[in-house]
Amino acid sequence: MSPRRLATLEVRNVSKIYDSGGTPVTALASGSLILKPGAVTGIVGPSGSGKTTLLMIAGLLETPTAGEVLFDGKVISRPGAKLNDLRAFRRTHLGFVFQKANLIPYLTAAENVAIAMQINDVGRRQAQKRAAELLGALGMGHRGTNYPSQLSGGEQQRVSIARALANDPTVILADEPTAALDGTRAEMVMKVFRALADSRNVALCVVTHDTRWMKYFDTMLELEDGRARESPPSAAKAHE
């Protein structure tokens, strides 16, 4: 595995308009993000305000209708970009955590993490060793041989975080990662994210409805009707 690059991912003035059966739907009128090493950025806002759309554009899973995405100062995505060509870049530099852990049911926890490295050409032995280390760091070292169905929702989510970390990403993008968890497990996930930023310099971006988590954010972006506005995390109080 090549050593991780510390770099900033910047989403600059993007918008997204979908064609819904001939009718244009503005999912995101305007948004910008700067994800720096060691910083946790929260994206908050009501349902339908464009949070996931912005995250998908940042994660190179959607192209913007206007604007651009830069990594380390170089443009990597813009309108019409071929996202398939960015697959290798995504696998190397980005990690994703979703609301549902989406683990492969017939693989153990350790195999679910290792396979993310093996598809990046890491040998089986090395992948298994690192999978065990990552699960251990997330308090899941004793559950590596369990299948997803044998794990609680919070445990599955920790496995999915280990999987997101497998290739030592520069940036982790998380979409409602705590929405399916109870309070204690949700808080644990947020603490893990904060620790990843603090101790490993990962740049984190977390989409959430839950303003309880603003204490973990360095920067917060509020979306309303597809428009983004940066505010200090303390301003999230207004949502409560």
Q: Which residues bind ligand ATP (CB under 6 A)?
A: 18, 20, 25, 27, 45, 47-53
Q: Which is nearer to ligand ATP, 110 or 223 (CB)?
A: 223
Number of Cβ atoms within 10 Å of the Cβ of 56: 20
Q: Which is nearer to ligand ATP, 46 or 183 (CB)?
A: 46
Q: How far is the CB of 35 from ligand ATP (least distance, A)?
A: 17
Q: Which is nearer to ligand ATP, 18 or 147 (CB)?
A: 18
Q: Which is nearer to ligand ATP, 23 or 84 (CB)?
A: 23
Task: Kindly state the DSSP code that residue 17 receives in the 8-state scheme.
Answer: E
**Which residue minimizes CB distance to ligand ATP?**
27
Nearest Cα residue to 172 out of 100, 113, 96, 98:
96
Q: Where are the beta strands (DSSP E) in the chain?
A: 9-20, 23-35, 40-44, 66-71, 74-77, 94-97, 171-175, 203-207, 219-224, 227-231
Q: Which is nearer to ligand ATP, 99 or 120 (CB)?
A: 99
Tokens of 90: 């995504």
Q: How far is the CB of 92 from ligand ATP (least distance, A)?
A: 26
Q: How far is the CB of 43 from ligand ATP (least distance, A)?
A: 8
Nearest Cα residue to 178 out of 167, 165, 192:
192
Q: How far is the CB of 236 from ligand ATP (least distance, A)?
A: 15
Nearest Cα residue to 54 out of 37, 29, 79:
29
Task: Kindly state the DSSP code that residue 235 receives in the 8-state scheme.
Answer: G
Q: How far is the CB of 10 from ligand ATP (least distance, A)?
A: 19
How would you write 27-94 as a 3-class SS string? Answer: EEEEEEEEECCCCEEEEECCCCCCHHHHHHHHCCCCCCCEEEEEECCEEEECCCCCHHHHHHHHHHHE
Q: How far is the CB of 204 from ligand ATP (least distance, A)?
A: 17
Q: Which is nearer to ligand ATP, 55 or 131 (CB)?
A: 55
